[in-house]
Amino acid sequence: MEPQVQMVRMNMDDKLAPNVFLSGGSAQTIADADRLRYVPDLDVPKVSLLFGNRYEHFEASSETTLVDGREVKVFVWSLRTYVAE
């Protein structure tokens, strides 16, 4: 039996200070402004972000990066899935 993976789905209207940078994926579908997000639990292995009719999925990495003098955790793009009708 595979271990269950916890995944967080993020909203586009996160109001808290960003603590995550989303790296990779298509620059045409994910704007730079959408790459800085707030994730309540930084220990999750994956996060997903809804864009219209699809989810962009990102996996946690051991990397951090500095953004405006603040250290944020890097999540790396892994795949895209589409919402079923």
pLDDT digits (tens, 9 = 90+) for 44-77: 999 998 888 889 999 999 999 998 888 999 999 9
Residue 44's Cβ-count burial label (10 Å; 0-12, 13-18, 19+) is middle
Judge whether 1 lies within some domain: no
List, for residues 14-28, the tens digit of each pLDDT value.
568 889 999 998 888
Which letter does DSSP use for residue 31 in this model?
-
Judge whether 16 lies within some domain: yes
Prediction pTM value? 0.79
pLDDT at 10 over 90: no
Number of folded domains that form the chain = 1
Judge whether 72 lies within some domain: yes
Structural domain that includes position 13: 7-82
Judge whether 2 lies within some domain: no
